[in-house]
Amino acid sequence: MDGFFLGISSGLFCLSSCAPVIVPFLLGEGKKVSGNFFIIGLFLTGRLLGYILFAISAWYIGNTILSSHHLKNIFLGGSDIILSVILLFYALFEPKDDCKLNTVMSFFGGKYNNHYLPILLGFITGINICPPFLLALIQSINKGSILNCLLFFILFFIGTSVYITLTAFIGLLSSVSKLRIIGKLTAIVISFYYLYSGSLIILRETVRI
């Protein structure tokens, strides 16, 4: 249960880190509370996948990422830039039936819709190395086996997710039609924040080399 309590204690930090990503998306979609819970579910699924992937990688690769400040920063900067691109894409791009993206998606037997975006957003935020995440990673590696490590991470994930699910209640404002436009505009503004943040980190690391 350590993982769960660690997650609960750092949940507010996770909420403040994830809110700039998920809140504009929820507003932009303009769904009611139930619809938002579905989107949050997709977001958290992506986040869980990110967590599990990172946990497994950390277990097998070892302390490489933790000990290398340089590698950690490159990773952080890169994920910020990817987040920026996704948010800009969401805000500016309206998929039409005949667009090339659907041609690509048809190879996978599907059609593009905005449901893929929260999974992607969740995944990127999930692999973002923030202090509570690092703490959880260190503690999980000391668990002795890969299964215990995974279990610790999953419980940590559940603990942090408690606060994030509260953002679904933005759906109470879904009757305000202007919020969809505000959500998309906010996504554009925040994408610049992540673009700057990621570029600066990578630039610093590159110059240092």
Partner 1 sequence: MRKNRKKEIKTKEKNVSEKTIDYLPKPSKVMLLILPVIAILMFFFFFNNYPREQLKQISLMITYFYLNALFLLMIYTGKTYKYRRILFVTIAALFVFSFIPELIETRGSMIVTEEDMINGQVPFCHIVIPMILIPAALTKTIIFPGSILTGFASIASMIVIWIGVSLSIGRGWCSWACFYGGFDEGFSSIPDKPLIRKLDRKWTYMPFAVLLAVVLTSAITLSPTYCEWLCPFKAVSEFAEITSFKAVIQTIIFFSLFLALVIILPILTKKRTQCTFLCPFGAFQQFTNRISPFDIRIDAEKCIKCNKCIKVCPTLSIDEKSLNDGKTLLSCTKCGKCIDFCPKNAVSYHIKGTKVGLKSDISRLFYLYPAFLFGSVLGSGIITRGLWRILKFITTGHII
Q: Residue 110 CB, nearest distance to partner 1 (Å)? A: 31
Can you say how many angstroms the Cα of residue 98 is from the centroid of all Cα atoms in its chain?
A: 29
In degrees, rounded to 5, the angle at the alpha carbon of residue 174 between the alpha carbons of residues 22 and 42 is: 35
Report helix, strand and coil shares of the chain as percent, to nearest 5.
80, 0, 20
Asked whether position 172 contacts partner 1 by CB under 8 A, the answer is: no
Count CA atoms within 13 Å of residue 14 on its CB side. Answer: 31
CB of 149 or CB of 164, closer to partner 1? 164
Binding segment (CB under 8 A) for partner 1, from list 52-60, 77-85, 138-146, 186-194:
186-194
Binding-residue pattern over the window 6 to 35 for partner 1, x denoting contact by CB under 8 A? ------x---xx-xx--xx--x--------
User: Do residues 169 and 16 touch, judged by C-beta distance below 8 A?
Assistant: no
Asked whether position 134 contacts partner 1 by CB under 8 A, the answer is: no
Q: Residue 13 CB, nearest distance to partner 1 (Å)? A: 9
> How far, in Å, are 25, 27, 119 from residue 181 at the CA level?
11, 8, 22
Asked whether position 181 contacts partner 1 by CB under 8 A, the answer is: yes
Q: Residue 204 CB, nearest distance to partner 1 (Å)? A: 9
Sign of CA dihedral 8, 79, 194, 179: negative
Q: Please pick, from the candidates 40, 55, 149, 190, the single residue that binds partner 1 as defined by CB under 8 A.
A: 190
Q: Please pick, from the candidates 4, 59, 89, 193, the single residue that binds partner 1 as defined by CB under 8 A.
A: 193
CB of 31 or CB of 184, closer to partner 1? 184
In degrees rounded to 5, what are phi and psi of residue 132? -65, -35
Place of tokens 């952080």: 76
> How far, in Å, are 22, 44, 56, 151, 174 from residue 28 at the CA level?
10, 18, 34, 34, 10
Binding positions for partner 1, 81-100, rule CB under 8 A: none
Q: Residue 185 CB, nearest distance to partner 1 (Å)? A: 3
Name the residues that contact partner 1, by CB under 8 A. 12, 16-17, 19-20, 23-24, 27, 178, 181-182, 185-186, 188-190, 193, 196, 200
